[in-house]
Amino acid sequence: MNKPSFSTNSAHAVRAKIRQRRKALSFQEQSIASEALLIQLRELVDVGQANNIAIYLSNDGELNPELFIQWCWQQGINTYLPVLHPFSKGQLLFLRYHQHSQMKANIYGILEPKLSVLDIISTSDLDIIFTPLVAFDAEGNRMGMGGGFYDRTLSKWYQQFQSDINAKPRPIGLAHDCQKVERLAVQDWDIPLAKIVTPTAIYDFTV
């Protein structure tokens, strides 16, 4: 992979621009996008193979996967949400999320399941991690909110993926079409995604 070095300033500018773009989508555009996402993911997710899926609750204009979450529950697929680690800064935990989960807002105002040790799943037991993202490019590079949370979570997967293309958990980015950019600057710690799904397209970077 080529790793051109751009200034951090330009990364800030791209993040701000694309965040603004997704936040400008209307309620109706968001609803249509969520329904289209459900249709895409029903095709993509093999119910027999995917038992444990990490997903997110949308924030800041992100593509909303709630309809897909409901569908997972109907299929008996377990869903998990990212929870900021209480002690290890920059790390995520994944906690079981079901209809009756008790929720609490994190420091960013995003709802997450209340921390309970019994609800934690080890990342390596997840089949798929659907990641939120701010921007992506045609090579599967991902820019997030800037905390490095998903890059840290996925670094072990990426090492294994070098020798096993079926390594788990498979990271699949979810985004609106308007979040695609020409080319993202890639940093050493950035982890590219296996797939990215938008309401109108599925990009597969493993083939």
Ligand X SMILES: Nc1nc2c(c(=O)[nH]1)N(C=O)[C@@H](CNc1ccc(C(=O)N[C@@H](CCC(=O)O)C(=O)O)cc1)CN2
Ligand Y SMILES: Nc1ncnc2c1ncn2[C@@H]1O[C@H](COP(=O)(O)OP(=O)(O)OP(=O)(O)O)[C@@H](O)[C@H]1O
Contact footprint for ligand Y (CB under 6 A): 143-152, 155, 187, 189-190
Give, as ranges, the residues between 158 and 197 that touch ligand X (CB under 6 A). Answer: none
Burial class of residue 188, CB neighbours in 10 A (0-12, 13-18, 19+): exposed
Q: What one-letter code names the amino acid at 189?
A: W
Q: Is 76 annotated as a binding residue?
A: no
Q: Given the complex with ligand Y, which of 143 and 194 has the nearer CB atom?
A: 143
Residue with smaller CB distance to ligand X, 149 or 203? 149
Helix, strand, coil abundance in the chain, percent, nearest 5: 30, 20, 45
Residues 125-154 contacting ligand X, CB under 6 A: 132, 144-145, 147, 149-150
Burial 5-35 (b: 16+ CB within 10 A, else e): eeeeeebeebbeebbebbeebeeeebeebbe
Tell which phi-psi region holds residue 117, choosing left (phi > 0), alpha (psi between -120 and 50) or beta.
alpha
Q: How far is the CB of 15 from ligand X (least distance, A)?
A: 8
What is the rounded distance in angstroms from the CA atom of residue 27 to the CA atom of residue 45?
Answer: 26
Query: Per CB under 6 A, which of residues 4..63 are in contact with ligand X?
Result: 56-59, 62
In the list ligand X, ligand Y, none, the entry touching 57 (Cβ below 5 to 8 angstroms by class) is: ligand X
Q: Would the annotation count 148 as a binding residue?
A: yes
Tokens 């670094």 correspond to 155
Contacts to ligand X by CB under 6 A: 56-59, 62, 82, 92, 108, 110, 132, 144-145, 147, 149-150
Annotated binding-site members for substrate: 57, 62
Annotated binding-site members: 57, 62, 142-150
